[in-house]
Chain A
Amino acid sequence: EDQVTQSPEALRLQEGESSSLNCSYTVSGLRGLFWYRQDPGKGPEFLFTLYSAGEEKEKERLKATLTKKESFLHITAPKPEDSATYLCAVQGILTGGGNKLTFGTGTQLKVEL
């Protein structure tokens, strides 16, 4: 069974204070690892997909990296508008025909002025 563990559960940063969120996973064979942003009461918003170890993706102040056991979401010089819950999800090769996503519980990020 695919599993995803995210840490920390919550993170409070000052504006401009860079940090990283961790996503550890176990999966039968990785088809893809996905990062989403979720604002309160909203649906997950797609950020990145990573497919193989060593791959990196960037978008504005966010950079996602992938190893064989974990992924990191690096946030450089965050702003208050980056405050949200960041979700990690995996898709395993043996998930069945539907390509379901298995999510972690998320990291709740708050960026203060």
Chain B
Amino acid sequence: EPEVTQTPSHQVTQMGQEVILRCVPISNHLYFYWYRQILGQKVEFLVSFYNNEISEKSEIFDDQFSVERPDGSNFTLKIRSTKLEDSAMYFCASRTQTRRNEQFFGPGTRLTVL
């Protein structure tokens, strides 16, 4: 069964450093998402991406964040200058172009900012 994959599973970085989180969505999916979950809190929407454009973003997704689909399979989230409060699980999700709207999530990347 096709799955969303994410790398790395755990990333440790120093405050102020840039990080890139990588995702491979399910192959026939056209809509891509990033969510995050701070420890003990709810899953929060960051950004959605379709047709090589951001279609929606949250207040969390400020100028320090960017997304890219550099080729036909990868979808990346970049944080330019990490802060302590960026420590969280980051989940990638994808869905097909149907009315079903079901999003399928990857296993997540745990980002720890020291």
Contacts and interface: CB of A to CB of B under 8 A. Distances in A.
Interface centre among A34, A98, A105 (most CB of B within 10 A): A98
B48 interface: yes
A47 to B, nearest CB: 10
Interface stretch (A13-21, A62-70, A71-79, A89-97): A89-97
A44 B50 contact: no
A41 B90 CA distance: 11
Contact of A46 (B55, B104, B106): B104
A100 B33 contact: yes
Nearest to A48: B102
Contacts of B105: 36, 43-46
Chain B's interface size range is 20 to 34
B56 A49 contact: no
A103 B42 contact: yes
A98 B56 contact: yes
A87 interface: yes
Contacts, number: 69
B108 interface: yes
A98 B55 contact: yes
B26 to A, nearest CB: 12
Interface string A82-113: 00000101010001111111111110000000
Given A43-B107, A49-B100, A97 B42 contact: no
Contacts of A32: 101
A43 B57 CA distance: 20
A36 B101 CA distance: 14
B44 A99 contact: no
Interface of A: 31-32, 34, 36, 41-46, 49, 87, 89, 91, 95-106
21 contacts: A32-B101, A36-B105, A41-B110, A42-B107, A43-B4, A43-B106, A44-B43, A44-B105, A49-B102, A89-B43, A95-B56, A96-B55, A97-B55, A98-B57, A100-B33, A100-B56, A100-B58, A101-B45, A103-B42, A104-B42, A105-B41
